[in-house]
Structure 1
């Protein structure tokens, strides 16, 4: 992936997660500066952890464009809410799913560029995709989605596996990205719509 496309994808992912964090802050009646904290934690948390684990410069410190994108998305969302306050929760979930899918791809790409193997890349993609949302939910006193048995981290892993399969087959980068994006968003939104769950442990039913 060229640097320009990688940068643009990162900017879009940050903006999506900033909007998602702002909407949840509004839904939870977080006031004033607290909304900015929630949105920034959502937008920047996953990528910051990824860069620290990969021993890379933290992306928003190295390039302030990501902060501009975050703050711009927050302001636009606040203005949108002021004039259209009855925002459906569906949009929060969709934005979160798309933001997670984009960050998943970014984590995979950045890891591969850094010379890691595909297993580590998929792990870094999942970390990038879910950690910002986890911080957001904790700040807002929500049980994190990744802890509720929903297909959240699993959707990221599936998206990572789709990317790995297409990459191994020599498919052009754009289709690796689109395949991963579609897989992650489809599984995440499908899980919410049809209540898909992944049960690892079989629970005993006492008679």
Structure 2
């Protein structure tokens, strides 16, 4: 298994777990669990591959990605009740998936020889689109849009770090690992310590 395949599998499995936990909060049936888990797991990677014109899309080339996501959904269907706080677990697992997916997206775009801006964009797309689809389908406010939270910003910082290290660190695996680390630290800081961006506050019009 290549490094990029490993990163894709890791992000698929962790995102599938987050999707299944969301399904448990929505009290869906087993089919609903599988659907939300698979949508979350492969959504970002699918958009990435479509934009990069990768043929075939990664989970069509290797259906085992869907099997992994479905297996995660099945396990969570029978074990979700064991988590004391599914929301807290969901948030932290999502932060881990975000970091891994940033590494997967930037790694694939780098391997395909794309420019720095495309590499950064693919890191963001891979890491954010699956969770966005998940939240929209179940009717939640997408976490990427929640007020001031470092989510897309964390993904951008991690992907940009990977690109900036190209001239200083020739080994791709180390660049991807550092980029993922930056992403996770920022996201974890937002969760644990309330790090956030300033938000717009409207002011009443002058009379």
**Same-fold call, TM cutoff 0.5:** yes
**SS of structure 1 residue aligned to 2:28:** coil
Equivalent residue number for residue 51 of structure 2: 53
Change (3 A) 1:113 1:174: closer
Q: Is 2:67 aligned against 1:68?
A: yes
CA distance in 2, matches of 1:199, 1:24: 28
| 3-state secondary structure, aligned to 2:2 | helix
Aligned residues: 204
1:90-135 CA-to-partner distances (Å, cap 9, x unmatched) read 2211111111111111111111222210111110110110000000
Q: Post-superposition shift, 1:176?
A: 1.2
Give, in angstroms, the shift of residue 75 of structure 1.
1.7
Alpha-carbon distance in structure 2 between the residues aligned to 1:88 and 1:132: 19
27, 44, 53: which is aligned to 2:42? 44
Distance 2:113 2:182 in 1: 25
How far 1:28 moved relative to its partner?
2.1
Range 129-138 or range 88-97, more displaced: 88-97
The unaligned stretches of length 5 or more in structure 2 are none
Shift of 1:29: 1.8
Q: Structure 1: how far apart are the matches of 2:38 and 2:4?
A: 20
Alignment RMSD (CA, Å): 1.9
Contact 1:18 1:39 in 2 (8 A): yes
Query: For residues 1-207 of structure 1, what are the structure 2 equivalents within 5 Å?
Result: 4-56=2-54, 57-81=56-80, 84-149=82-147, 150-199=149-198, 201=200, 203-204=202-203
Cα deviations by residue, 1:138-167 (Å, 9 ceiling, x for unpaired) = 011111111123211101001112212222
Q: Unmatched 5+ residue regions in structure 1?
A: none
Mean CA deviation greater in 99-108 or 40-49:
99-108
Q: Which digits, 9 at most, give the CA deviation of each residue in 1:11-36, with x for residues without a partner? A: 11100000000011111222331121
* Aligned-partner Cα distance in 2 for 1:205–1:169: 50
TM-score, structure 2 length as denominator?
0.90
Taking structure 1 as the reference length, what is the TM-score of the superposition?
A: 0.90
- Displacement after TM superposition at 1:4 (Å): 1.6
On the 8 A contact 1:11/1:65 being kept in 2, the answer is no
Q: What secondary structure sits across from 1:197 in the alignment?
A: coil
